[in-house]
Amino acid sequence: MKHNIKIVVNGDEYSLAVDPWRTLNEALREDLNLTGTKLGCGTGDCGACTVIVDGRAVSSCLTLAVSVDGKSVTTVEGLAPSGDELHPIQEAFIKTGAIQCGFCTSGMEIAALHLLSNNPSPTELEIRKGLSGHLCRCTGYNQIVEAISVAGEKMKKCCHEEERS
């Protein structure tokens, strides 16, 4: 039997009828067509499916859709403030060459958002710890670490000030 759930995704409210075994990843990608969140391993090991649920970074492949009923979800589609403007994290990933095939990117950027929201000035070690559980087969990670550091500096000047005002 399907369950009716209400979730807010990137500020928009949705009502869905989902099977009890349907994952949040399936609900986002297949029901809401938000395909920016990737499905890699499907077993909680790669981080490609990471989204933020009520302030916590979670693997959407291991999260049942019914468990997010009434909760707020942020996916990579919610990063950019508008259609013609990128988030500082996205800008930094492009500027530093932190994207190659791009498969890990949405999970990495959501991890970066989660990290920088909780720690606006992370050390390199803290960034690397924040990325634990996120696999990238292309970049060697150094550019991703640099991107998060660059984004953190920019967000301190813009985004956190906006949050405070």
The residues of the shown chain that bind ligand FES, judged by CB under 6 A, are: 39-42, 44-49, 59, 61, 99-104, 136-139
Nearer to ligand FES, 78 or 107 (CB): 107
Nearest Cα to Cα of residue 151 among 101, 103, 116, 111: 116
Nearer to ligand FES, 66 or 99 (CB): 99
For residue 112, which amino acid is it? A
Nearer to ligand FES, 9 or 49 (CB): 49
User: Minimum Å distance from CB 4 to ligand FES?
Assistant: 25
Nearer to ligand FES, 79 or 136 (CB): 136
Phi and psi at residue 110, in whole multiples of 5°?
-70, -40
User: Minimum Å distance from CB 158 to ligand FES?
Assistant: 26
> Do 148 and 115 touch, CB atoms closer than 8 A?
yes
CA distance 16 to 18: 6
User: Minimum Å distance from CB 160 to ligand FES?
Assistant: 27
Q: Where are the alpha helices (DSSP H) in 12-158?
A: 24-26, 88-95, 105-118, 124-130, 142-157
User: Minimum Å distance from CB 63 to ligand FES?
Assistant: 9
